[in-house]
Structure 1
Amino acid sequence: MVKLTMIARVTDGLPLAEGLDDGRDVKDSEMYKQQVKALFKNLAAGHNEASRMSIESGPYVFHYIIEGRVCYLTMCDRSYPKKLAFQYLEDLKNEFERVNGAQIETAARPYAFIKFDTFIQKTKKLYQDTRTQRNIAKLNDELYEVHQIMTRNVQEVLGVGEKLDQVSQMSSRLTSESRIYADKARDLNRQVSFIIALRIILRLAS
């Protein structure tokens, strides 16, 4: 079943909309939401290049698609068909672009499109039961294949971002320290030059 749905702008990780009733039946739902926000942060920093990916986390899987600089993400049970999860996201994407496309870039506050929750809930209900004739037909639809979409582990994905952040911080620290060293070296050179010049003057004076 679909458990969580969140939409964010990729350029800065700003959350744009989410399923308001999502996560009530999920143990540790706040932890998973924090993982989603960390993922959005990684995407904003350019740590993940794939436009479509599945990410395993405990008993659940995050599925996301990126299009038009917007990330559409859902969390489902591991047993939920990957094909349905991505078709659910495609439905959300198409409607979100149609209704809010012109305002996505100018949105300045979190959850600026929270009213989109109405469409999220309505669409989620259509995808909950995998045995309905509609969903069976979608599973058999060969026009939308998901075999090429990569599946990774959440620790691996978020860990990559953390390691890159550490490397960036270390690089900044080394750059800062090298500037300090260069400044000290210049000061020392000036002091040495001054002492040499002073000795020459004293010799000439004597």
Structure 2
Amino acid sequence: MSMILFACVVRVRDGLPLSASTDFYHTQDFLECRRRLKTLALRLAQYPGRGSAKGRDFSIHFSSSRDVACMAICSHQCPSAMAFYFLETLWWEFTASYDTTCIGLASRPYAFLEFDSVIQKVKWHFNYVSSTQMENSLEKIQEDLKFQPPVVLTLEDTDVANGVMNGHTRMHLEPAPNFRMEPVTALGVLSLILNIMCAALNLIRGIHLAEHSLQDPGSQFCWLDQTS
């Protein structure tokens, strides 16, 4: 089985796919990995340089510079140095074929679909040429990876990011705080009783005033007549 299964070139700032290799694998796991690669392509601006998202059977490797990134799905047997050497070679081939103006003005997916033939040729070379013929280049890549290790993600991370980008943020639920009421003190009880007594006295006073007004409704007017 080939170690490099799929490759594509994308624009970093928006994840627009510019070109891609033809798929020959249609297993459920591979198609799921393709879906996660598309999600990861939208986040490449957050991860400049090299990076890997590793799963059980497949790994996604990416390498970006300026506004162009190359991505690949590889089997778990593929050494990281070989994957990044492949991506670096692909990046040089693409940027030598298309200038930055053409890349920046691309408005539709796979605007450079004709580059597929180059991707297939480079992919075949890395899958079937003996690694001893690339020994010097692989050693150089390995040294680079020691000094500048790639960002390491998991394929599950891409699903989390996809949910956030679609507005479905992960909710962190915590139990509500348990507030306990303080016991009532003797001073509080006394204050409550006094307030009740004052309210009762005010109520009784109001009733007496109302009764007095009803029993002698003309007294006020008589007093006014006498004074006049």
Do they superpose with TM above 0.5?
Answer: yes
Does 2:63 align with 1:62?
Answer: no
Residues 108, 164 of structure 1: alpha-carbon distance in 2 compared, 3 angstrom cutoff: closer
2: CA distance between counterparts of 1:33 and 1:50? 21
Bigger CA radius of gyration: 2
- The aligned residue for residue 80 of structure 1 is 78
Identity %: 24
**1:3-43: CA deviations, max 9, x gaps?**
010111122221100002x3x23522332221111112233
1: CA distance between counterparts of 2:26 and 2:137? 26
3-state DSSP class of the match of 1:31? helix
- Aligned partner letter, 1:117: D
- The aligned residue for residue 203 of structure 1 is none
2: CA distance between counterparts of 1:12 and 1:139? 31
- Checking the alignment, whether the CA contact within 8 Å between 2:33 and 2:58 is kept in structure 1 is no
- The aligned residue for residue 41 of structure 1 is 42
TM-score (norm 1): 0.70
2: CA distance between counterparts of 1:129 and 1:64? 21
- The aligned residue for residue 10 of structure 2 is 8
Give the aligned CA root-mean-square deviation in angstroms: 2.5
Give matches, 1:103-182, under 5 Å: 103-129=102-128, 131-141=130-140, 144-147=143-146, 148-163=149-164, 165-166=166-167
3-state DSSP class of the match of 1:63? strand
**1:52-71: CA deviations, max 9, x gaps?**
10111330111101112122
- Aligned partner letter, 1:51: G
- The aligned residue for residue 32 of structure 1 is 33
Ranges in structure 1 where 5+ consecutive residues have no aligned partner: 171-206
TM-score (norm 2): 0.64
Residues 27, 4 of structure 1: alpha-carbon distance in 2 compared, 3 angstrom cutoff: same
1: CA distance between counterparts of 2:114 and 2:31? 21
- Checking the alignment, whether the CA contact within 8 Å between 2:53 and 2:154 is kept in structure 1 is yes
User: What is the count of residue pairs matched by the alignment?
Assistant: 165
Residue 157 of structure 1: how far off its partner (Å): 3.8
Does 2:87 align with 1:89?
Answer: yes
- The aligned residue for residue 180 of structure 1 is none
Residue 125 of structure 1: how far off its partner (Å): 1.4
